Amino acid sequence: MSSPKEKPEGQDLLVPLETYLAAGVRIGTHIKTKVMERFIYGVRPDGLYVINVRLLDERIRIAAKMIARYDPNTIVAVSARQYGYQPVKAFCSFTGAIPIVGRFVPGTFTNPSLPNYLEPSLLLASDPRADSQAIDEAAEVGIPVIALCDTDNFCEYVDLIIPVNNKGRRSLALVYWLLARQVLRERGELGPDEDLPVPVEHFETKIVSSITAEMASRKRS
């Protein structure tokens, strides 16, 4: 049974508190940076810092309002980390944003002579450390940056921090699913209480064992 304190806190969240907790969104790292201190709720006995779920929820709402103000095709979402590939692709498929997963080619935002050159109006990054090239280039040309930030991130050039476990598969899937849903609600493409037509699992990167991957590779060869 929820404690009296927990129950009212979870009533106006985007999803039930239990859903957030099950996805591990609040589990940070053993390190906290100065900029992330205000988003930390406490520390576990094992030394892992715990992110404030209410602040995460608030920042998802703020980010969605911000994203909804831009033309979809002027928004770029990036993830250099593999666990962010599917969440970013799924988010972009619903919102119309441009996905860049894997290696971010230097000059994508700054070198017009490149064939993959882009001039976005907004950047959504999955991890300030892994996506530093994209964030640095966005800052160089004056593109606002929204980023998913863990307790150990320094967040230079990030205009809007979404405090969350940005390394877990389920955490990334839930946050991107919520962002996509909220953006569509803000645009009026979904009703205030409507959900996406796919579950959160659609946004989750699937784990393929090395044995399965090897067998699939042999079949293709």
200 pLDDT exceeds 60?
Answer: yes
Q: What is the pLDDT of residues 152-182, one digit of tens each?
A: 999 999 999 999 999 999 999 999 999 999 9
Q: Mean pLDDT, to the nearest integer, of 76-81?
A: 97
186 pLDDT exceeds 70?
Answer: yes
**Can you read off the two tokens belonging to residue 59?**
């920042």
81 pLDDT exceeds 90?
Answer: yes
The CA-atom distances, in angstroms, between 106 and each of 46, 77, 92, 128, 147 are 39, 16, 21, 16, 19
Q: Mean pLDDT, to the nearest integer, of 71-95?
A: 97
Q: Mean pLDDT, to the nearest integer, of 129-149?
A: 98
By the 8 A CB rule, do 145 and 168 touch? Answer: no
CA-atom Rg of the chain in angstroms: 18
User: pLDDT band at 11, cuts 50/70/90?
Assistant: low
Determine the pLDDT at residue 208.
65
Half-sphere exposure of residue 145: CA atoms within 13 angstroms, side-chain side: 27
The amino acid at residue 44 is: R
Determine the pLDDT at residue 207.
82
Q: Which domains does the chain have, with CATH numbers?
A: 13-220 (3.40.50.10490)
Determine the pLDDT at residue 217.
42
Q: Mean pLDDT, to the nearest integer, of 58-72?
A: 98
Q: Which residues of 127-139 are buried (b: 16+ CB within 10 A; e: fewer)?
A: bbbbbbbbbbbbb
Q: Who wins on pLDDT, 214 or 50?
A: 50
pTM equals 0.89
56 pLDDT exceeds 80?
Answer: yes
